[in-house]
Amino acid sequence: MVFEAADLTTFQQYYALADQVIDQSSKEALAECAWLLALNLAHYEMRYGALPLDETLAALSAAEPNDDQAELLTRGMENLVGLFGNVLSGLGEERH
């Protein structure tokens, strides 16, 4: 898959949106998102094995990410923004 510059723009948009949501979120909402992300990661690891942290760290520190790194960053921000949307809209509140 070729990751185009327009897709990196999508990452930047998701990143800016996530930054805004984080700034406006309560400590409880942030904790809920962290909890849900941790459960998603645990589910993935149980099913497919541990994720290679070195690849994630390389994507975060890359001055100019390669196509795979850019896709990882974009999908990560997309997941974060979507999760915030679910938490802030009250989706799943009945579980408490």
* Per-residue pLDDT in tens (0 to 9) along the chain, 96 residues: 445 555 778 989 999 999 999 999 999 999 999 999 999 999 999 999 998 888 888 888 888 888 888 888 899 999 999 999 989 888 656 554
What pLDDT score was predicted for residue 55? 80
What pLDDT score was predicted for residue 66? 85
d(CA 14, CA 77): 6
Q: pTM to 2 decimals?
A: 0.76
What pLDDT score was predicted for residue 5? 57
CB 65 within 8 A of CB 73: yes
What pLDDT score was predicted for residue 96? 45
CA 84, distance to chain mean position in Å, is: 10
Q: Residue ranges of the alpha helices (H) in the chain?
A: 5-24, 27-48, 53-61, 67-89
What pLDDT score was predicted for residue 8? 77
